[in-house]
Amino acid sequence: MTLEVAHGGRGSYARDVAAAARPGRLSLPRDEIVERARAGDRDAFDVLVQSSTRLLYGIALRILHDVQLAEDIVQDSLVDAWRDLRGLRDPALFDAWVTRILVRNCHRQARRERSALQLRPRLREDETTNPTAEIDERDRLDRAFRRLKPDHRIVIVLRHYLDWEPAEIAEALGLPPGTVRSRLHYGLAELRAALEADARVAPQTEGAR
């Protein structure tokens, strides 16, 4: 099955995602649409795709911070969802279920892209009024995140960017909760150490100019 969710290039994908959020063609309760999709109704699954794509793309983009990778992961995750939909027992859990598929795919991608993956938090508009300071802070966070192991990066994003509880992260990644808590602890410690090291280097660099 080929899902035509993204119709344009990298520059138009956000517009396609917004268009996909329009109401679908089936005016039925969501649980019934999921049941029809589970029975092999592709029109019903298209409705689910339209209602889920925007959320999934937003999550993938925040985790991977790469437009092309996010597009690919959303596509792959929707294909996986169609293939495995019969295994979903409770139609009411469709959104959580497909999100877990996406997160697992992001996790695998992060491990494959160990040297290239860049993750960074998005600063709130009220956190700084100095554009130069904001750019500098983003650069520092980028450099610090690049030094983290992929396993540490993804749990930090899920916990502190998506506000998932450790138990939710553990379920999504297929890990024991203790492992998730350990990765959060060591990942945050590594992040702090990287930021502190960068802060120590910055004055020396400026003084050498």
Under a CB-based contact definition with an 8 Å cutoff, are residues 170 and 179 in contact? yes
- Compute the average pLDDT of residues 61-85: 90
Which residues are within 8 A (CB) of 20 and not within 5 positions of it... i.e. 6 or more apart? Answer: 5, 49, 50, 53, 54
64 compared with 20, residue with greater pLDDT: 64
Q: What is the DSSP letter of 98?
A: H
The closest of 183, 154, 185, 176 to 63, measured between CA atoms, is: 154
Q: Give the 3-state secondary structure of residue 161.
A: coil
> What is residue 85's predicted lDDT score, i.e. its pLDDT?
95
Give the number of other Cβ atoms within 10 Å of residue 67's Cβ.
Answer: 16
Residues of the chain with CATH 1.10.1740.10: 1-115
Which residues are within 8 A (CB) of 92 and not within 5 positions of it... i.e. 6 or more apart? Answer: 31
Average pLDDT for the chain:
77
Under a CB-based contact definition with an 8 Å cutoff, are residues 120 and 62 in contact? no
Q: Does domain 1-115 have CATH number 3.40.50.300?
A: no
Say which range, 5-9, 20-24, 30-34, has the weakest mean pLDDT. Answer: 5-9
User: Which range scores top for mean pLDDT: 21-25, 27-31, 88-92, 106-110?
Assistant: 88-92
193 compared with 203, residue with greater pLDDT: 193
Q: Does domain 118-209 have CATH number 1.10.10.10?
A: yes
- Compute the average pLDDT of residues 45-70: 88
Q: How far is CA 99 from CA 83, 141, 149, 173, 184, in A?
A: 15, 26, 23, 11, 20
Residues of the chain with CATH 1.10.10.10: 118-209
